[in-house]
Amino acid sequence: MPDTGTSDAFVAFERVQKSYDGETLVVKDLNLTMPKGEFLTMLGPSGSGKTTCLMMLAGFETATHGEIKLDGVSINNIPPHKRGIGMVFQNYALFPHMTIAENLSFPLEVRKIGKSDREAKVKRALDMVEMGDFGGRRPAQLSGGQQQRVALARALVFEPELVLMDEPLGALDKQLREKMQFEITDLAHKLGITVVYVTHDQTEALTMSDRVAVFNDGRIQQLAPPDELYEAPQNSFVAQFIGENNTLEGVITEIKGNTCTVKLDGGEMIDAQPVNVTKVGERTRVSIRPERVEVNKDRLQEGAHTLKAKVLEFIYMGDIFRTRLSVAGNDEFVIKTRNAPDQVRLKPGEEIEIGWLPEDCRALDAF
């Protein structure tokens, strides 16, 4: 029977704040709970506090305020060797004087695991990352990607319940990176490991995670599954940060249930869904994904507002067409249409009308 509330949380940050200098907060009021087995990614710009959060969870930094709990117990009360946390960092510091097998054996020796048991676990961990034949080599005799895989095996060899990874694939080329993305999520799910993953790469975050926490300025801006983040951003920062996005600015002139009318700064009227706005007269920045813009007026609702647009650029991309438009003073307005037999190919200079369903256009904060 699952518990209710936060008591079943495996990892919990409760009102956590962190200051390194006693003045500025680099983590501001962080609240986050994770169930066991979840793969959660912290995504956000440089300096937004991601590594700091991992360091506090690992116990290398202490929170200035608030509490971090692991399986219901405050992390301060758990000695490091009993935390059962595996870690992989961007600079995957393997011990250079030890062989690969010795590197993996080390965390097991620290935990007083017997020799034959150790050997079996090391072999299994190396096989898991397809490095079984490399146990006798030293780190300097491996490629960067192979070292990265060994670092991953070393973090998993003692079967931790929680693994923290800070940009673990940063040094790899695209192909190996994608292979490792799959291997990491596959392993985590197979072994039931809870993972907190940090990356700059939004595609990586969206493809690997159960949930993504978007960080900015020491706060979680939104915490949601990938599809929800992309399709239902709760504020302008998230809408801009995740995926490609068109924005138009204006003032709310009417709110009626799930729809509002926005008067754009150039005077045009559009329909949107009120998300992060509350009242008439408020400034807003509306957000529309490129694939949700309709160029075929017949497909729009009766009475829907449309906008005049001028085609600036047409790019054939094979599966889709990417067309850049000038819309209400915005020359970077991009639409994406599927390459279907009946799809029109717009030409630069052409004047068209565009529209959208109100639910596909989100009225957000003007920040």
Ligand X SMILES: Nc1ncnc2c1ncn2[C@@H]1O[C@H](COP(=O)(O)OP(=O)(O)OP(=O)(O)O)[C@@H](O)[C@H]1O
Q: What gap in Å lies between CA 285 and CA 113, rounded to an integer?
A: 58
Contact 158, 166 (CB under 8 A): no
Of the pair 27, 157, the CB lying nearest Mg ion is at: 27
> Which CB atom, from 63 or from 275, has the smaller least distance to Mg ion?
63
In this structure, the number of other CB atoms found within 10 A of the CB of residue 296 comes to 14
- How far apart are alpha carbons 362 and 286 in whole angstroms? 5
199 is an interface residue for Mg ion by CB under 5 A: no
Site string for Mg ion, 297-336 (x = CB under 5 A): ----------------------------------------
The strand pairing partners of 355, in sequence order, are 294
Q: Which of 51, 148, 222, 273 binds Mg ion (CB under 5 A)?
A: 51
Q: Which two tokens stand for residue 298?
A: 């017949």
Measured CA to CA, the distance from residue 14 to residue 9 in angstroms comes to: 11
HSE, CB side, 13 Å, CA atoms: give it for residue 35. Answer: 7
Say which entry of Mg ion, ligand X, none residue 46 contacts (CB below 5 to 8 A, set by partner kind): ligand X
Which amino acid would we find at residue 108?
A: L
Q: How far is the CB of 102 from ligand X (least distance, A)?
A: 30
Q: Least CB distance from residue 166 to Mg ion, whole Å?
A: 6
Radius of gyration of the chain (CA): 25
52 binds, among Mg ion, ligand X, none (CB under 5 to 8 A by kind): ligand X
- Using the minimum distance from each CB to ligand X, give the nearer residue, 25 or 176: 25
Residue 324 CB, nearest approach to ligand X (Å): 30
Q: By CB under 5 A, how many residues form the interface with Mg ion?
A: 1
**Minimum CB distance to Mg ion smaller for 134 or for 197:** 197
Residues that bind Mg ion (CB under 5 A): 51
